[in-house]
Structure 1
Amino acid sequence: MRALPPISITPAMLTSTTCAEPSAGEAAWSAATAYKGGDRVISTSTHRAYESISSKTAGVTLATGTGLVTWANHGLVANTPITFATTGALPSGLTAGTTYYVLADTANTFKVATASGGSAIAFSGSQSGVHTATVTTNLGHDPASDDGWWIDIGPTNRWAMFDLLRNTGTTTASPLTVSLTPGQRVDSIGVVGMVADTVSVTVSVAGNTVYTASADLLKRPTSGWYDYFFGAFRYQQEFARFDLPPYTGAVITITLTRANGNVTCGGVVVGSSVYLGRTLHEAESDALNFSKIDRDDFGTATLVPRRSVPRTVQTLRCRKSDVDRILQLRDDLNAVPALWSGLDDQDSGYFSALLIVGVYKRFTITMDQPEDALISLELEEV
């Protein structure tokens, strides 16, 4: 069993990729641009995608004569479009449903104009009822910090392969090529959640290739001649190598190809692996099924399919001399996702069942022998 704590991939490390950003349907966000409700944008600093909240409504008071609108902690900037509604009557100068524009004033008050940058309206006459104001743009509100205006809907397509979540992935036309410069010594890589025919990893230093590994991912599991000729193909989704040459200035290039259709990469984990021990027999592969299955009084089932979360239970035999190092790893990986591989042999039929990107739920060390210890691991995918 090996554990691979991931290093955090930053923009500086991602030297090139064939998956462009922003991806289709997204636009780069800037403070000078207004976005109306329903728009999807990305922040190029955090590589997250955001969807604007369709509207923001609050109760307001309207002061005749001064034309002041009071809205506590409104957060609106100049030229934000705004409309008003009421349960009674608005003062003269305002018409319900008409778009006006904010003239920034204080944190709790502002005035409005009939045009962007226009003159303030001075309300007059009588008014009644409860007044509300609604804005439908996010002008000047950074989606990465103003969570009252935007909903974080996940990583951008280009960066989805680096967030270590099973339900997100980078999808693009074949081939998908990614080049990384970790800037530190790494000796292992894991690529998971793939839909591709082939995957290859190349390590180069100063332009010279020093390491290459590849695998054919399109498999036809067979248990006899019939399966050999007529069995269905499936994609092996996991690939891991623990023998990368640990050069400080290495450039790691990952390439996924597919003859027909787009390729998908669910996750890339790069770092220095830690050997925990030898995986013993009777390891378990399981899954937490979050699908909903209900039956009525007649036994008729209503099935609502939802994701299943893989988990494994494994027992390892480790050396006494490694226990201190393993204790440190346990502290380092407290609620931190990592790649866990029960086997190094990728040709083994058990390889995929015992490889998981997730967190440990139980990590017990039993000192049952003078020179060896048993580790009980319960791992759950994120």
Structure 2
Amino acid sequence: MSKMIVVPGLEITPARLVLSTLPDLDYGAWNSATDYKIGDRVTIDRINYEAVVDHTNRNPVTDTATPAAWITVGWINKYRMFNKQIGNTWGIGTFTSNPGAIDLTIRPGKRVNAMGLVGVVATSVRVVVTVPGTAAPLYDKTFPMSKKKGVGWYQFFFGKFARRDNLAILDLPPASNADVRVIVSAPAGTAQVGMLILGWSEVIGTAVYDTSLGRKNYTTVKEEFDGSITMTKHGKRRLVNYQIVMEGDEISNALHTLDDLSDTAALYVGSEELDYTIIAGTYEDLSVGLPTYGMGTQNLSVRSLN
């Protein structure tokens, strides 16, 4: 058993993302004089758009003529790890990636003490917290994203590695004027992050062993007349059904915390040591039992957004 942690996400804006090795544009900026063809793509204000008709001088943001000239194709690579939502649509299965490493620095402008990364493909994640003007870091830790399977000397020397996909860091120093640098390293490949959430952690009880896991696959299968099938790959969403025990006086605080998170992304951590209990998403179902002998139980179902 371990403390059940929720971290509401801080919005990462250009003002807060003070440094990144990733480019500001995935495609060229929109130009009113350009003759765009079907399939051409442009970037405006961190969003990518694709032309669906041949046209000139139809701004992807302000144009309202029909048929539509553009469709949105999601956030730019630099911001996909922070933002999934455009209007009411969430881009499930999107991620930020870069050959070798993703290196960025966030200046929250307020106190934070926790961070989570989910959907990680990397060998390690290094987190460095510094205060501008001070040489020595307040915090500098490197987290390996793989470990040997099993135990014993044979596994240590000859065993295969198990990859860790999710990481929760709950001990960041809560300095109000600090910069948080994150380096996601994959020296022999491409570094990838599905979502990064930074904020202030809240304890909403104790996660217990009845917590269960699931996964929903949205790939479609169509059967043809001759028995062959056509599979169209779509995204997947993870589900964690947390069983939580709370003392009676924790219930109101937990409800207040969760009420604000019903339609927004947050980090949920059942255990730092068990990466499959770490999820970035929204909760879909919440049921709370009345306290008995000072203890109450809570069932919290969270579905991923990465």
| TM value normalised by structure 2 | 0.86
**C-alpha distance in structure 2 between counterparts of 1:304 and 1:252, whole Å:** 40
Q: 1:137 aligns with which of 55, 58, 73?
A: 55
Counterparts of residues 204-353 of structure 1 (less than 5 Å): 204-208=130-134, 209-222=137-150, 231-293=159-221, 305-344=233-272, 346=273, 351-353=274-276
Corresponding position of 2:72: 152
**C-alpha distance in structure 2 between counterparts of 1:371 and 1:167, whole Å:** 42
Shift of residue 151, structure 1, vs aligned partner: 0.6
Amino acid at match of 2:278: L
* Unaligned stretches of 5+ residues in structure 2: 85-90
Amino acid at match of 2:36: Y
Amino acid at match of 1:266: G
Instruction: Judge conservation of contact 2:119–2:166 (CA < 8 Å) in 1.
Output: yes
Corresponding position of 1:94: none
Pairing 1:51–2:54 present: no
**C-alpha distance in structure 2 between counterparts of 1:328 and 1:288, whole Å:** 29
Corresponding position of 1:188: 114
**C-alpha distance in structure 2 between counterparts of 1:231 and 1:291, whole Å:** 33
What are the Cα deviations for residues 85-118 of structure 1, in whole angstroms up to 9, with x where unaligned? xxxxxxxxxxxxxxxxxxxxxxxxxxxxxxxxxx
**C-alpha distance in structure 2 between counterparts of 1:33 and 1:41, whole Å:** 11
Cα gap change, 1:317/1:173 in structure 2, threshold over 3 Å: closer, same or farther? same
Cα gap change, 1:171/1:319 in structure 2, threshold over 3 Å: closer, same or farther? same
**C-alpha distance in structure 2 between counterparts of 1:363 and 1:286, whole Å:** 17
Corresponding position of 2:88: none
Amino acid at match of 1:51: E
Question: Which stretch shows the higher mean deviation, 152-161 or 329-338?
Answer: 329-338
Amino acid at match of 2:6: A
Cα gap change, 1:242/1:177 in structure 2, threshold over 3 Å: closer, same or farther? same
Shift of residue 303, structure 1, vs aligned partner: 5.3
Instruction: Judge conservation of contact 2:113–2:201 (CA < 8 Å) in 1.
Output: yes
**C-alpha distance in structure 1 between counterparts of 2:31 and 2:38, whole Å:** 16
What are the Cα deviations for residues 236-293 of structure 1, in whole angstroms up to 9, with x where unaligned? 1211111211222110000011221221121110111111111111210111132345
| TM value normalised by structure 1 | 0.70
Corresponding position of 1:38: 39
**C-alpha distance in structure 2 between counterparts of 1:169 and 1:289, whole Å:** 17
Cα gap change, 1:38/1:294 in structure 2, threshold over 3 Å: closer, same or farther? closer
Instruction: Judge conservation of contact 2:113–2:171 (CA < 8 Å) in 1.
Output: yes
Q: Matched residues, percent identical?
A: 27
Question: Which stretch shows the higher mean deviation, 372-381 or 233-242?
Answer: 233-242
* Unaligned stretches of 5+ residues in structure 1: 56-135
Q: 2:285 aligns with which of 334, 354, 362?
A: 362
- 1:277 is paired with a residue whose SS is strand
Counterparts of residues 64-143 of structure 1 (less than 5 Å): 136-139=54-57, 141-143=58-60
Q: 2:94 aligns with which of 159, 168, 173?
A: 168
- What's the C-alpha RMSD, in Å, of the aligned pairs? 2.5
- 1:333 is paired with a residue whose SS is coil
- 1:322 is paired with a residue whose SS is helix
**C-alpha distance in structure 2 between counterparts of 1:234 and 1:52, whole Å:** 42
**C-alpha distance in structure 2 between counterparts of 1:234 and 1:137, whole Å:** 50
**C-alpha distance in structure 1 between counterparts of 2:92 and 2:122, whole Å:** 16
Cα gap change, 1:207/1:195 in structure 2, threshold over 3 Å: closer, same or farther? farther
Amino acid at match of 2:55: T
Instruction: Judge conservation of contact 1:166–1:266 (CA < 8 Å) in 2.
Output: no
Corresponding position of 1:375: 298
**C-alpha distance in structure 2 between counterparts of 1:12 and 1:294, whole Å:** 46
**C-alpha distance in structure 2 between counterparts of 1:303 and 1:376, whole Å:** 35
Shift of residue 19, structure 1, vs aligned partner: 1.0
Corresponding position of 2:87: none
Shift of residue 298, structure 1, vs aligned partner: 9.9
Amino acid at match of 2:127: V
Number of matched residues?
Answer: 291
**C-alpha distance in structure 2 between counterparts of 1:38 and 1:279, whole Å:** 48
Return the index of the structure with the highest Cα Rg: 1
**C-alpha distance in structure 1 between counterparts of 2:103 and 2:224, whole Å:** 51
Question: Which stretch shows the higher mean deviation, 216-225 or 245-254?
Answer: 216-225
